[in-house]
Each structure stands twice: as C-alpha cells, then as structure tokens.
C-alpha cells in the first residue's frame, strides 16, 4: 500500500508545503494528495513540483479538485487544461473531481446525459495527455451510490475514467464497502480513508460544514475508532489489489491523528501478512 496525506487536512493551518512534506516523510508516508487550490496557489513558486517532492522521498499521489462540469465548455476545458498542466508538474496522472451537484435520484435523465457528455470530453482530453479522471464516490453527486456509479462508468465507457473510492461515503450510502469494492475494483485507482463515530453524525462531512473554519468537527474520529470497520476492509482490499490511498482527516490535532492513523494502518497490514 502507498499511503498519502492530503494537503486539504491543513487547510486551516499555517503550515508551509515544506513543513507538510517534512511531516509526511518523518511519519513514513509515501505521498501527498495535493488539493487543487493549493497547487494553483503554488503555481508561481517554480521550485515546487515532482523533483522537489522526490527530494523528500515522496510523490504526488493525486491532484484533487472540482472541475466545473456545468460551466460553459470553453471555461470547463480551460480549467481542465490548467489542472492537467499542474498535475504534470507535480508528477501525477490522477485528477480527482465530483460529478454534478445533486444526488443521483434528484438528477433528471436530461441532466445526467449532459454530465456524461461533459465527462467524455474531459476524458478525451486527459487521455491525450496520458492522465486519468477520477470521480469520487460522494453524497449529492451522480456517484452517491454503487448502482449509479456503475451506471456512470458504463455510460461514459472511457478508459481514462477511474474511481476514487471513498470508503466512508460508500458505507454512508447503505452499501457494504467490501461488496462495493469488489464490483468497482476494475475501475478503482485511489481510496480515501476516514471515519465517523456514528451514522447520525455524518452531516459533519457536508462540504458547507467541513470546509468552514468554524464548522463542527463532532463525530470525526481516528480511522480505527469509528463505525466503519477498517480492519476488515483493509484485510480484504490489500489481498485483492495494489492500493493507493489517502488519509483524509478534517478534524483537530491534524498531525497527531495522521501520525497515529498511519501507524495503525501499518499494524493492520502486518496482521494481514501474517
């Protein structure tokens, strides 16, 4: 398993990229998942990129952003080209996005068809650049459940379209993550790992709350202390495929929690190998 930290975890902290990379190296992470806005804001700092990360023994595992699929085509493609260029600079071929701004059950066929057309355009471009588009399994998007995600993959039918499998959000949809993983396995290129104390607290991860500096963090817990059984999930997934994953932490005590969770992941993997 290659395990990354997410720079989004440091969105409300005054840590430089140098400090984040140093922390990732000292804690034994293999990569950094770069939030799109961070990559954009570092664009003029020319020494930052794949070679700089490599000096820490790290790689960029993914560039995570929110491509404007509902914008005019020219605007959407300009943003895609910008992210593609940044991804090349950081040495990753994976660009993550969400699909739509409504849940699958609230999206009309016409709206869905329009999103699929846009996805094909993005995939065509990224394929020409040797890159992949990863759609994240996430509430209030077209990939908010297993069946809609499978349908989207079939409708788009493009080799460059891949999945960022968010374990918690699959569980949130009511599907066993192991069952979903087995079905989506041919398409999965990355995983997000996070947990919650109780299903009743899942609202804490809604974008309006989680991106707010003053938002609630109640219910966010370390990876192996929540409602999703990561010991069981990791035992299953690492026995079936190579795993690239990011610890996605949005709560307080970011360094201590990430350091603790990375050690617990390593312990869980050791048990699998025994």
Q: What does the DSSP assignment read for 174-225?
A: TS-HHHHHHHHGGGEEEEEE--BS-GGGGGGGSHHHHTSTT---TTB--GGG
- Mean pLDDT calculated for residue range 59-71: 97
Whether the per-residue pLDDT at 181 is higher than 70: the answer is: yes
Catalytic: which of 138, 158, 169, 190? 138
CA distance 30 to 246: 10
pLDDT digits (tens, 9 = 90+) for 121-179: 999 999 999 999 999 999 999 999 999 999 999 999 999 999 999 999 999 999 999 99
User: Residue 239: pLDDT band by 50, 70, 90 thresholds?
Assistant: confident
User: Residue 274: pLDDT band by 50, 70, 90 thresholds?
Assistant: low
User: Residue 241: pLDDT band by 50, 70, 90 thresholds?
Assistant: confident
Encoding tokens for residue 89? 């600079």
H/E element holding 54?
Answer: helix 50-54
Place of tokens 């997000």: 192
pLDDT digits (tens, 9 = 90+) for 24-58: 999 999 999 999 999 999 999 999 999 999 999 99
Whether the per-residue pLDDT at 211 is higher than 70: the answer is: yes
| pTM summary value | 0.97
Is 138 considered catalytic here? Answer: yes
């Amino acid at each position: 398993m290659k395990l990354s930290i997410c720079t989004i975890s440091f969105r409300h902290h005054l840590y430089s990229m140098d400090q984040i990379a140093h922390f990732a190296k000292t804690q034994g992470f293999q990569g950094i998942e770069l939030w799109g806005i961070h990559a954009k804001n570092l664009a003029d700092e020319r020494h930052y990129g794949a070679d700089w990360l490599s000096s820490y023994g790290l790689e960029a595992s993914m560039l995570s952003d929110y491509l404007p699929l509902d914008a005019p085509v020219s605007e959407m493609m300009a943003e895609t080209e910008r992210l593609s260029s940044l991804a090349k600079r950081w040495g990753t071929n994976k660009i993550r996005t969400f699909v739509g701004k409504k849940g699958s059950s609230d999206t009309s066929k016409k709206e869905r068809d329009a999103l699929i057309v846009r996805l094909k355009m993005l995939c065509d471009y990224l394929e020409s650049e040797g890159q992949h588009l990863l759609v994240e399994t996430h509430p209030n998007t077209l990939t908010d459940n297993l069946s809609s995600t499978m349908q989207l993959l079939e409708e788009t039918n493009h080799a460059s379209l891949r999945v960022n499998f968010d374990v918690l959000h699959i569980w949130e949809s009511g599907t066993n993550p192991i069952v979903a993983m087995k079905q989506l396995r041919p398409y999965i290129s990355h995983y997000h790992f996070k947990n919650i104390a109780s299903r009743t607290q899942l609202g804490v991860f809604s974008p309006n709350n989680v991106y707010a500096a003053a938002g609630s963090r109640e219910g966010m817990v370390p990876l192996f202390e929540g409602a999703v059984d990561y010991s069981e999930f990791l035992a299953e997934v690492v026995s079936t495929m190579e795993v690239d994953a990011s610890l996605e932490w949005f709560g307080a005590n970011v360094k201590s929690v990430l350091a603790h969770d990375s050690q617990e992941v390593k312990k869980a993997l050791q048990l699998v190998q025994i």
